[in-house]
Amino acid sequence: MGADVKPLRTAAEAALIARFQAAANSLPGDSATGRRRTEAFDRFEKTGLPTRRIEEFHYTDLRALLRDAPEPAARPDAAVAATVLAHNAAFPAPLAIPSLDFVNGYLVSQPPAIAGVDIVALDAALAAGDALTGRIGALELAQDNPMLALNTAFMAEGAIVRVSKEAGDAGLQLRFANAADAPFSSAPRVLVIVDDGASLDLIETHAGASGLAYQVNAVVEIIAGDGARVNHTRINAEGDAAQAVSTLSVSLGADVRFSSFGLTTGPAMSRHQIFLGCAGEGADITIGGATMLRGRQFADTTLTLDHAVPNCNSRELFKTVLDDESTGVFQGKIIVRQHAQKTDGRMMSAALLLAENATMNNKPELEIFADDVQCAHGATCGQLDDDLLFYLMARGLPRKQAEALMVEAFLGEPLEFVAREDVRDNLVALVEGWLAARG
């Protein structure tokens, strides 16, 4: 109500507006890109930082959470970048997979040439008017999102990756590490194009120094061609004072096998939004998530899945474990368009509250316009089963250990979505580490 009232700008909004006005002319790209930036920023400016008045942000008031908008950090030199990367790894055991490394939002290193994989830095691609830049932000479904628009307005650092069939079973890491003396903000953007029939394991990790109040608004876009296969894994292990907003935007061609799994555990505040659109028939989609929160952490996972064409299957499974006074949010929306017959969509969100004062908000939505489809959603919320706990303790396990066993089993299900063993081992180690820290 009162939608016509123009809100006063917060300090963060005012800073962003001033920054855009100052930087608009120096950001890379031709006049067409410039227009896109202006359009995107206008869209952002219209709503400002999203509040609960926007239904998609019903539980996450970014206007209140993002109090200021710190300046971006300076580009780190090679030595600093190497130190930051070394000290901020999301994974306990490093992977033997080529990686693109980002420090404080800047692309600092690219892997040696891989057959069938083309990588170009985003700022260079924009400045050179690379044709691939035209495919950035193409997903209609995500157009109105203010945080994505904000990233588009400022996009400069990042990369465009194109994987062709010749690459075989390619693997690529996107490693984001953050550490600096003062709070900063970053808005990296990566576009990954997987050609028809190509295959890619994409592992995206985010880590950062603890105690540093930095802000991230990262965007990863994936465009998968007909018959492609993409396994995406995302770890959010940002620093404990970080505020991390992230967007995964995916558009799928016909007969694509796509899976995405996200583990969230690090930052003080996170909002991960997934937009997925089916453009071709016969896609098979699996999306999983595991979130572990403690202290006063806040994590929001928001998923919008658009079945725009017939004959696609999707499975979504999200698990959240909440300790202390943490708050979890899951919003999932499955849209089935009028002609998207024979769609089969299933979404499940389960939450486990380990402490009295934890909070979980679930909003699993269905929006269906086709009559010959199967869609289901489920949501549960509760604490550990006393009977099971008793059973384990009766067999001599101390309470904490029994709890840990049950939590691990609870989170195990979505972890199965991760096909690569080396990645999954790392995820299990992260879960075990988190449980061990509970004491």
Partner 1 sequence: MAAVQETVDRVKAIDVDQYKYGFETVLETEKAPKGLSEDTVRYISAKKNEPEWMTQWRLDAFRRWQTMVEPTWARVDYPKIDYQDAYYYSEPKNFSGPDSLDDVDPEILKTYEKLGIPLREQELLAGVKTSKVAVDAVFDSVSVATTFKEELKKVGVIFCPISEAIREHPELVKKYLGSVVPASDNFFATLNSAVFTDGSFVYIPEGVRCPMELSTYFRINERNTGQFERTLIIADKGSYVSYLEGCTAPQRDEHQLHAAVVELVALEDAEIKYSTVQNWFPGDAEGKGGIYNFVTKRGDCRGDRSKISWTQVETGSAITWKYPSCILRGNGSNGEFYSIAISNGRQQVDSGTKMIHLGKNTTSRIISKGIAAGKSDNTYRGQVSAHRKASNARNFTNCDSLLIGDQCGAHTVPYIESKNASAVFEHEATTSKISDDQMFYCMQRGLSDEEAVALIVNGFVKDVLQHLPMEFAVEAQKLISISLEGSVG
Candidates 206-214, 224-232, 349-357, 411-419: pick the segment binding partner 1 (CB under 8 A). Answer: 349-357
Which residue has tokens 């997979």?
97
Parallel, antiparallel or unpaired: strands 199-208 and 229-237: parallel
Determine contact, residues 201/170, Cβ cutoff 8 Å. Answer: yes
Residue span binding partner 1 (CB under 8 A) among the ranges 176-184, 246-254, 345-353, 407-415: 345-353
Q: What is the nearest approach in angstroms of partner 1 to the Cβ of residue 276?
A: 19
**Minimum distance, C-beta of residue 369 to partner 1, in the bound complex (Å):** 5
Query: Which residues make Cβ contacts (< 8 Å) with residue 9, sequence separation at least 6?
Result: 17, 48
Binding mask 165-204 for partner 1 (x = CB under 8 A): ----------------------------------------
Listed ranges 170-178, 242-250, 300-308, 364-372: which one lies at the site for partner 1 (CB under 8 A): 364-372
- The tokens for 2 are 């009162």
- Residue 370 interacts with partner 1 (CB under 8 A): yes or no: yes
Region of 394 please: left (phi>0), alpha (psi -120 to 50) or beta: alpha
> Which CB, 163 or 329, lies closer to partner 1?
329
Q: How far is C-alpha 398 from the chain's CA centre?
A: 36
**Shortest distance, CB of residue 274 to partner 1, whole angstroms?**
19
Q: Is 368 in the site for partner 1 (CB under 8 A)?
A: yes
Structure tokens at 341: 């017959």
The distance of closest approach from Cβ of residue 399 to partner 1 in the complex, given in angstroms and rounded to an integer, is 15
Q: Say whether residue 421 binds partner 1 (CB under 8 A).
A: no
The residue (of 220 and 329) whose beta carbon lies closer to partner 1 is: 329
Q: Tokens representing 215? A: 């802000």
Q: Which of 17, 82, 359, 392 binds partner 1 (CB under 8 A)?
A: 359
Q: Cα dihedral sign for 285, 56, 272, 297?
A: negative
Task: Indicate whether 16 belongs to the interface with partner 1 (CB under 8 A).
Answer: no
The reply on whether position 51 binds partner 1 by CB under 8 A is no
Give the closest residue to 206 by CA, choosing from 90, 116, 80, 330.
90
Shortest reach from residue 14's CB to partner 1, in Å: 27
Nearer to partner 1, 134 or 382 (CB): 382
Which residue from 356, 387, 394, 439 is in contact with partner 1, where contact means CB under 8 A?
Answer: 356
Phi, psi of 434 (to 5 degrees): -65, -45
Which of residues 26, 131, 371, 439 is near partner 1 by CB under 8 A?
A: 371
Residues near 416 by beta carbon (within 8 Å), at least 6 away in sequence: none
At 377, the amino acid letter reads H
User: Could you please report the per-residue DSSP string of 143-182?
Assistant: TT-HHHHHHHHH--SEEEEEE-GGG-EEEEEEEEEE--SS
- Does position 351 bind partner 1 by CB under 8 A? yes
In the list 89, 373, 389, 393, the residue contacting partner 1 (rule: CB under 8 A) is 373
Can you give the C-alpha Rg of the chain in angstroms?
21
Measured at the alpha carbon of residue 18, what is the angle toward residues 12 and 21, in degrees to the nearest 5?
140
* Alpha carbon distance 101, 122 (integer Å): 13
Residue nearer to partner 1 on the CB measure, 126 or 278: 278
Per CB under 8 A, which of residues 381..420 are in contact with partner 1?
Answer: 381-383
Structure tokens at 211: 């105690």
What's 219-253 look like in SS3? EEEEEECCCCEEEEEEEEECCCCCEEEEEEEEEEC
- Exactly one of 65, 379, 397, 405 binds partner 1 (CB under 8 A); that residue is 379
Give residues 81-110 in contact with partner 1 (rule: CB under 8 A): none
Structure tokens at 329: 């949010």
Q: Is 58 in the site for partner 1 (CB under 8 A)?
A: yes
Interacting stretch for partner 1, rule CB under 8 A, among 104-112, 213-221, 257-265, 353-361? 353-361
In the complex, which residues of this chain contact partner 1 (CB under 8 A)? 1-3, 55, 58, 338-339, 341, 346, 351, 353-383
